[in-house]
Structure formats: C-alpha cells, structure tokens
Amino acid sequence: MTTIHNLGFPRIGAQRELKFALESYWKGASPLGALEALGAQLRQRHWQQQAGLDLVPVGDFSFYDQVLDTSFLLGHLPQRVQGLPGDALDNYFRVARGRSAPAAEGAGGPAAGVAAGEMTKWFDTNYHYIVPEFTAATTFRLDASRLLAQLAEAKAQGVPAKPVIIGPVTYLSIGKSKDGSSRLALLERLLPAYAELLELLAAQGVEWVQIDEPVLVTELDAQWQHAFNTAYHHLKTARVKILLATYFGQLQDNAYLAANLPVAGLHVDAVNDRAGVLPLLNLLPAHKVLSLGVINGRNIWKTDLAAVLDWVEPLAQRLGDRLWLAPSCSLLHVPVDLASERQMDAEVRSWLAFALQKLEELRVLGRALREGRGAVAAELQANQAALAARRASRRVHNPAVQAAVQGITARQGQRASGYAQRAPRQAAVLDLPAYPTTTIGSFPQTAEIRQARSDYKAGRLDEAGYQALMRAEIERSVREQERLGLDVLVHGEAERNDMVEYFGEQLEGYAFSQFGWVQSYGSRCVKPPILFGDVRRPRAMTVDWIAYAQALTTKPMKGMLTGPVTLLNWSFVRDDQPRAASCRQLALAIREEVLDLERAGVKVIQIDEAALREGLPLRRSQWADYLGWAVESFRIAANGVRDETQIHTHMCYSEFNDIIASIADMDADVITIETARSDMELLDAFESFDYPNQIGPGVYDIHSPNIPAQDRMVQLMKKAAERVPAERLWVNPDCGLKTRQWAEVIPALGNMVAAARALRAQA
C-alpha cells in the first residue's frame, strides 16, 4: 500500500486570516490570546483539509517563519533579546521585526525596539526567513513546548501526525557567523538538542518525524558532507523513524550520501529530479522508504496524472509499501484553494491546481495505485481533458511575439557608450549633490488608497473619481519628498497594487487570481500573477502617472518599472516552454515602456530586479546558463536609451556577493541594495571586486517599524565608503516603503536626508 503524505501546508489562511491577526496584535488592537486562538483555528482547519492523507504534517504552522521557529525551538536567541519582558512570542517578534506589540514594549521592553534579525531568501524561493546568528559561544537549549502543544492538538483531533522540523545541518548552513567562527564547529553542541527532541516525540507516541534537509540539493564540500554522517549517526538511536526530506533540486553528487544515511526514509523532489530517481533506487538500502515528490509544490498548473502513473506504477510494483507519494516540497509556496476563485478567467482557471487541489491530485494517485486506474477513471479523464484544452488554446501562443524574440540582436542589449562616458553626461543633466538621496519607489499604501482601489474595482467609484484620488496621493508623496529635501523623487506608486501584479494586469499573456495569496515573510503576502501565454504590451503602462508626477516638481522624477527577471520569478510561470523564452518576451515589453518614458522626458528610470538572485540555480554548475539569459533580458529592457538617461536597478534581501560580476555586467548606472540589516556585510564583495558604477547601499531597514537614527545611517555610509568611492555612493532605504506608515516614514527619511547632509559637510 503506497503511503500518501504532505510535507507542509500554507499557514496564512485562505483569506489571509493570519496576516490580519498578526497586524492587529502588533498594533495593540487585539490581545495575544486572540492571536493564539486564531492560530489554533487555522491549524484545526488545515488538518481537516488534509483528511484522507496517511500522514499529515504538524509543526509546519508558524506565526512568522519556520526558521525562526527552529531558533526558538533550540533555545537559540540573540543576546539582544534575552531577558526582556513579555510573552515568549514578544521576543520572537522582536527578532523577526524589531519589536512586538505596544503593550509588551510599554512594560519594560525597549521602546525604540531592537535590531531585527537579518532576512534573506529561503533557497531559490520568494519566501524570506530570519537568518540564525552564530558565534563561537553559541549554545543550544531545547524548548519544545510549542511543537509539543501543537502535537497534542493534532492528536486530540485524530490527526495522523508527522512532526516536521528543519534538520541540524541545514539549520547551520543557512545561518551566519557573526564573529567569523565556524558554524560546523557548533554541530557537536547542537545534536544533543535534536536527540532530546526526538525522544520527547517518541514519548508522545510519534512514529515518523520529517526532518527537512534541503541543503542536500546544493553543492557540499567534504566537511559539510561529513557533517551529515556525523549528525544522523548521532540521531540513529532515536525511538522514532526519520524521513529525511530534500527538495527544490537534484541530489546529484549527494545521492549516495543521502541514500545511505541511517534514517528510515528519504524524500526526493521528483519534479526537479525525476531523472535521478532510478539511479537512486540502486543506491537505496532494501529496507528504506522512498518518498517521491510528484506534485509540483511551487507552481499552480495541474499535474499530468496519467503521465505520473505511467512511471510510478512500475516503481510501486518494485517497492511495494516502501513507496510514498507527496508534493515535491511544502505547499507553503502556492495559494490555498482554487475554489475561492469565482472571478478568475474560467479557461485559465480550468488549467490550475492550488494547495487543496494538489492534495486531491495526490489522493487520486494514491487511490489509482491501490485500487487501479479504473477506480479513478472519471478523475483521470477530466484531468486529461483540461491538459488538452490548455495545449490547444489559441490564447497561449502569439506568432508575432515569438518572431520578435527570434529577432533579438546583440545590439539591443548594449548602451551607446560605456559608463565612463555616460556618467558625466548624466551628471550635467541631473545636477545632483554628493551622496544624493532617493527612495526605492513606493510610499505608504494607506487605508484610503486601498479603499479607493476596492471601490473602483467594485464599481462604486468611477474612473474619473479614482484618477483624482490617485493623483492627490501622488501629489502628497511629491510634496512630502520636497519638504524633506530628497534629491531624486518618486511618484509613490499609489495606483499600484503590487510591483508585479500591476504590470501583469496590463500585459497580454497574464491572468490573475482574487485570493491567490502566498506568504513572502511574516504578515507580508503576495498574489503572484499567472503567466500562461506569450507576453505582449498593448499600450503604455506607467507613462501618464510618471509624467503627471514630474509636472509637479522641478526635481528629477524616477520612472518606476519592474524588470523582466523579477516579473518572471515572482509569477507563476507557464511550464510548456523554457523560462528563458518567457523572460525575453517580458524584456521586450519592458523595453517598449522604458523608451516611452524617455520620450516623455523622464531622465531617471529604475528597473527593479529584486528577484534576480533568487532565480539562481542552487548548484553553481548551473549558474552560467541562468545568469546569461537573465542579465541579457535586463540589458534588452534597459539599454535602448540615450547616454543622458540614467538607469537604476534595485535588489533586495539576497546574498549576491558571489554574482557581483554578473550584476556589474547588467551595466545599470546606479544599483540600490539592502545592507541595513546585514550591517553593510553585503558590501564585502567590493573589497575584491572593483564595481564600476554607482551604488546605493540601503541604510534604512523598512521591514521593521523602528526609526533609524541619523548617526547610525552616517556610520553605515562611512562603512560603505571604505569599499566604494564616496563620489559613487547614494543614500536610500533598502526597499520600498509601501508597508510602512507615514508616521514612521517621515521621521526616518528626515534622518536619512540629515545623514546625507552631514556626510557632505564632512567630505
């Protein structure tokens, strides 16, 4: 009998219930008890929705981030939050975002907040985690109270529970040493906490524990490979069965290691590594379970169930009850329920599967293997009909777009002159001071903005009324920036719902959901558009708004665009052609918008590529191909302008020191990056790489409500000037200000402008 199970479920709720409960608690509008109760309700609902699976994950729910949960599970708290008052969740939120609820901070807590933990991307996804902080003195002390409480809830509800935890080697590998000490040296201290946890779970009657070790799909040197053997030989005496879960890529040279670790089962991502499954079988001991991730946990297209059965059925005959089936990874990365989408394009909707639909696909596969295909003949027939309809749809293919991509030339990716020739021409046009100040694009999306957008979509507000309200918000943003003394302004993006969705709504080849929310970090959720067909720009998308904003001021106004790589990586992308082909289509569309902005008199154009790094394959051997077409796509989008037009780009919350040469090859005149949370560590690459163009290292961490002090920003910029010549430095926040409040933004930007003036005075 094939076991069917799940690796993880979306935690935010089908209607983003967790988001709103968190934000209410953080504002002090609701008590901690209400947040805890909402968490329990969501867990119960999600377990019920997974009914029928043989094993259901427990411990995958989180109030902010599963890596931060692991840090608290292991008693691994940064020194700066130890000993502070409040509930354990208050310290948890202090690490996550710098502060907790006002009541906690008013009861002896740090009124100004503490430094939030550094945040970066979870492998190659758009999910952000809080980076564990290690020193040579780091110790661990197990605190399993929350996990055990959730396990007790699940058992009381009759859930066939499989606790889920992040493995010790992955936990160390994704953390950061704060003093240069070896992370691996901590493994000996860490393993007793894991052993203690497994014994506690065994005492609760747990049979299987899922330990996630996705770092196994990356390139590991001999020390890290040895760490796996050390860790799991230490844990092999535990009275539970361990399912070691890998995902997001291929095992490749780690296959022998993974197959022979002393664990009871191994999960592999058979969507990404189907070719590796048969060779793995020859390495896997005869007693060991093999769990295959056959449903894509990161995209939303229906699975070809017949094709999966064609290759899984022989494996089932060979392995018997040693074969398990699951999604490729946690379903955290997809929306909850397609059934909520009553306003979506019906044709596109028929091609999709969200989390609940993916679990139903899994149940169909399990039943087919147990009872034969005849038992699910109707489901298989409906599945094949939907796949055939998608392949035949005329909306998917546009010959004109395909011809345009085929006609791309090398010249389209080249500026007329090199940076050394462009820079003085741009300086003459813009006339900016030293340490010029700017922001990344968005300003607070107030309740009034959101209400106007909702009324407009619902037909309660006409086009003229909506335009008037948005123009008023744009003018407010411009006037505030003028009053603060910023040098290069932005229009604030009041009219934009999301930096990807806004553009996707105006491009052919995209479709949209109403409730397709996915967690990005904490309470921040995004609704990725669905790139289902060839992409074309029917008309200008931003020109009128930017031209209006520029007419309000004599200062330079940045045109704000999302770049082709980010549009690709932050969408659910069609799987019927190479991603590179879709990216080049997007590049041509954005290129048309860039040229229209330039013709409208816009002298500074920012093309955000926030997601460039996250699309990087997990193995270095595959980097060159991705970076080749990704950088080419940016250059196609950006490089049709005159020398006098200044091109900016922005990247956030990514470790990109190892791809700095490719970033330089993008040839943007100015790049802005996140460095506030990392204390300028992300600029270490510039000690060995002579970055040729201008750079704005973010000095204002916008993902925290804390207001940075002027002195702190001056200090950060001086650190930056040790690596990059001061004449090429800009001063800016590390990301857009959409999620902040005006009451936070104005004093923070005021301090930032004052910091820039102080730096000029000291120059």
What token pair was written down for 355? 């989390």
One-letter amino acid of 178 = K
What residue type is 223 in one-letter code? Q
Is 678 annotated for ligand binding? Answer: no
Distances (CA, A) of 20 to 30, 35, 101, 202, 354: 11, 10, 14, 36, 22
User: Which residues lie closer than 8 Å to 495 by C-beta, 6 or more apart?
Assistant: 470, 474, 502, 545
Choose among 683, 630, 720: nearest CA to 124. Answer: 630
Calculate the dihedral angle through the C-alpha atoms of 97, 98, 103, 109, rounding to the nearest 10 degrees.
Answer: 150
Distant-in-sequence, close-in-space partners of 397: CB < 8 Å, separation ≥ 6: 533, 534
Q: Where are the beta strands (DSSP E) in 591-676?
A: 604-608, 646-651, 670-673
- The answer to whether 340 is annotated as binding is no
Check the annotation: does 35 bind a ligand. Answer: no
The response to whether 702 counts as a known ligand-binding position is no
Q: Which residue has the tokens 């010249």?
A: 411
Q: Which two tokens stand for residue 319?
A: 């392995």
Q: Which of 76, 128, 234, 703 is catalytic?
A: 703
Q: Can you tell me the distance from the alpha carbon of 371 to that of 380, in angstroms, rounded to the nearest whole number?
A: 14
Of 736, 651, 709, whose CA–CA distance to 685 is shortest?
651
The whole-angstrom separation of Cα 183 and Cα 205 is 33
Q: Is 497 annotated as a binding residue?
A: no
For residue 458, how many other CB atoms are within 10 A of its CB?
8
Helices (H), 690-737: 710-721
Does the CA dihedral 164-166-167-168 come out positive or negative?
negative
Q: Does the annotation place 482 within a ligand binding site?
A: no
Instruction: State how far the alpha carbon of 169 is from the alpha carbons of 78, 662, 724, in Å.
Output: 20, 30, 35
228-256 burial, b for 16+ CB within 10 Å, e for fewer? bebbbebbeebebebbbbbbbbbbeebbe
Tell whether residue 441 is among the known ligand binding residues: yes
Closest CA to 38 of 18, 57, 23: 18
Is 525 annotated as belonging to a binding site? yes
Residues found in the chain = 763
Catalytic, 703? Answer yes
Q: Is 16 annotated as a binding residue?
A: yes
650 is in an annotated binding site: yes
Give the integer Cα–Cα distance in Å for 285 and 662. 43
Distance CA 504, CA 170 (A): 35
Amino acid at 288: K
Question: Annotated binding residue at 219?
Answer: no
Sheet holding 604-608, edge to edge: 558-562, 604-608, 646-651, 670-673, 694-697
Q: Is 440 annotated as a binding residue?
A: yes
Has 609 been labeled as part of a binding site?
A: no
Distance CA 680, CA 662 (A): 20
Pair 249, 619: CB distance under 8 Å: yes
Report, in angstroms and rounded to the nearest whole number, the Rg of the chain calculated over CA atoms.
26
The DSSP symbol for 644 reads T
Cβ neighbours around 593 below 10 Å, total:
24
Ligand-binding site membership of 614 (annotated): yes
CB atoms within 10 A of CB 536: 16
The count of other CB atoms within 10 Å of the CB of residue 621 is 10
288 is in an annotated binding site: no
Cα separation, 300 vs 496, in Å, equals 24
Q: How is residue 471 written in tokens?
A: 């123009």
The answer to the question of whether 6 is labelled as a binding residue is no
Tell me: is residue 524 an annotated ligand-binding position: yes
Query: If DSSP states are collapsed to H, E and C, what string results for 445-507?
Result: CCHHHHHHHHHHHHCCCCHHHHHHHHHHHHHHHHHHHHHHCCCCECCECCCCCCCCHHHHCCC
The amino acid present at 6, given as its one-letter code, is N
Annotated ligand binding at 121? The verdict is yes
Distance CA 129, CA 166 (A): 12
Catalytic residues: 703
Known binding-site residues for L-homocysteine equal 440-442, 493, 608
Known binding-site residues for L-methionine equal 440-442, 493, 608
Known binding-site residues equal 16-19, 121, 126, 440-442, 493, 524-525, 570, 608, 614, 650, 652, 665, 674, 735
Known binding-site residues for Zn(2+) equal 650, 652, 665, 674, 735
Known binding-site residues for 5-methyltetrahydropteroyltri-L-glutamate equal 16-19, 121, 126, 524-525, 570, 614
